[in-house]
Amino acid sequence: MIIAIDGPAASGKGTLGKRLSEHFGFAHLDTGLLYRAVARVMLDQEIALTDRDAAHEVALNLDVTHLDDPRLRGAQMGEAASMISGYQPVRDALLAFQRQFAEQPPGAVLDGRDIGTVVCPHADVKLFITATPEERARRRHLELLKRGEQTEYETILGDIRRRDERDMNRATAPLKPAADAITLDTTRLDAEAAFQAALDLVKAKV
């Protein structure tokens, strides 16, 4: 069984994916971490993010065993990931791993931008998680403060708007709900309420 969760930055899809996977005893992959990991290798090796060929090479050789590195979750890495994720060869290089991950029994939850549309078009359940940019900025701001990153709400809101714009309007795998996805707006839901709503939607589908 495959549960596909897509949505914009800081929509809560990661938290939701984690909770659904724990509930069902499934594996969980936050696919944004793959793009963040590619960006991190490039920044560490001082390779320009505009170097498509180098980004492709890094993606092909990516070590996927260190996705739990907390440094991947910083705001700078999200921005850099958004830049290299627009390169089709990078996306292609990361596809096989994601599809393989999705096939493991008894099931898997994958979250990202193109899971329902590109990675797992045959997923059993497809959720598209949204929330207003202001609410997402508020959540991300709190999260970063908790991690000790000094950031301003306004800066984060600007980053989120820019990232939405880039993720939705890119030529390759743009962020959009699959035709058969169910949209869940979490603007007025806390994590628990969002989880319960998603659980109801999943149960109704399987």
Which is nearer to ligand C5P, 11 or 26 (by Cβ)?
11
Tokens standing for residue 108: 């898997």
14 is in an annotated binding site: yes
Which residue, 30 or 57, has its beta carbon nearer to ligand C5P?
A: 30
Structure tokens at 117: 């549309």
| In contact, 30 and 14? CB cutoff 8 Å | yes
Ligand-binding site membership of 8 (annotated): yes
CB of 33 to ligand C5P, least distance (A): 6
Residue 2 beta carbon to ligand C5P: minimum distance, rounded to whole angstroms? 14
Q: How far is the CB of 104 from ligand C5P (least distance, A)?
A: 18
Both structure tokens of 170: 């890119």
Provide the binding-site residues for ligand C5P, judged by CB under 6 A. Answer: 9, 31-32, 35-36, 78, 81-82, 85, 112-114, 163, 167
- Residue 12 assigned ligand-binding role: yes
**Around Cβ 192, how many Cβ atoms within 10 Å?**
9
What are the tokens at 85? 């994720």
Contact 116, 126 (CB under 8 A): yes
